[in-house]
Copies of this chain bind each other. A is one copy, B any other.
Amino acid sequence: MICEDQGAALTPLRREVFELLLRHDRPVGAYELLDELKSLRPKAAPVTVYRALDFLLELGLVHKVNALNAFSACRGQEADHRGLVLICRSCKATVELEDHKIDNTIRRSAAELGFEAGDEPVEVVGTCASCRA
């Protein structure tokens, strides 16, 4: 599992935000998260959530899904967080796919152009099985 403090300060606030994210099986917007956080911490403001998210992103405990402007707790089993995330444009569901072969191919192609790919999963937008039916 994830969750262990990696030397940095996983404060109660930051842990709360992370645990809220873990409760969802889909990416969640910052303001939705804020609403939920408010039941624990009435003082919470947008920046409260964004700061906690920045921290968690830096630690690699959370991913930002650009296609949805939303955040998801990282469930990856491995140390790095490379791979693909499939995003359904219609129901917003996502599936993580830890395929190092594809990921390495992408990285190599990028490297040929002098470009060093980061560690965020690559986003693939499309349509999931249920929404196609």
Partner-B contacts on A (CB < 8 A)? 66-67, 84, 86, 88-89, 95, 97, 99, 102, 105-106, 109-110, 113-118, 120, 122-129, 132
Q: Identify which of B110, B114, B124 contacts A110 (C-beta below 8 A).
A: B124
Interface of A is mostly: mixed
- Supposing A84-B106, A102-B102, A110-B86 touch, asked if A95 and B124 sit within 8 A by C-beta, the answer is no
Each complex incorporates copies of this chain amounting to: 2
B84 touching A109, Cβ below 8 Å: yes
CB distance from A130 to the nearest CB of B (A): 8
Task: Give A88 to B116 CA distance when docked, in angstroms.
Answer: 9
- Supposing A66-B123, A67-B66, A122-B124 touch, asked if A95 and B113 sit within 8 A by C-beta, the answer is yes
